Amino acid sequence: MNTFLIPSIDKIDQVAREFLQTFKQPAVFCFYGAMGAGKTTFIQALCEELKVVDVVNSPSFAIVNEYDTDAGDQVYHFDFYRLKEEEEAFDLGYEDYFFSGNYCFVEWPEKISSLLPQKRYDVKITVLEDMTRQVEVVELK
């Protein structure tokens, strides 16, 4: 397990850079954490470090946002919070995204738990007492 600490918002870019240096290959990253833990904010910082040229915001209504990087790569950002049933993910063609070989950042993956790829990274963000965000990453194979 890898653990990162985000002591304050002004350090988030530094932690995002360290995160991406640790996990250099695009993969599916599933973000777990309470509402307001900072999942979207951290994903925005990751996208900035990946040189995404699009505006990065929560795809809570669209469910998936596709972003382009300045290198011509794509990054996919999911927010499954509004899904009522796992089967709704099939309508999105989630498999095409998950197995695309691009970075996939997934918020609220517990909503589609049986559809998640076996090979992925589970990222748990916890707010500590001093408001530091603890980011724990576990690789699943």
Going across the sheet that includes 74-79, the strands are: 2-6, 133-140, 120-127, 28-32, 103-107, 74-79, 64-68
- Which of 81, 74, 80, 119 minimizes the C-alpha distance to 97? 74
For 29-45, give the DSSP string.
EEEE--TTSSHHHHHHH
How long, in residues, is the chain?
A: 141
Domains with residue ranges and CATH for the chain: 2-140 (3.40.50.300)
Where do runs of H (alpha helix) occur along 1-141?
A: 12-22, 39-49, 88-92, 94-98
| pLDDT tens by residue, 3-53 | 999 999 999 999 999 999 999 899 999 999 999 999 999 999 999 999 999
| pLDDT tens by residue, 91-116 | 888 889 999 999 999 999 999 999 99
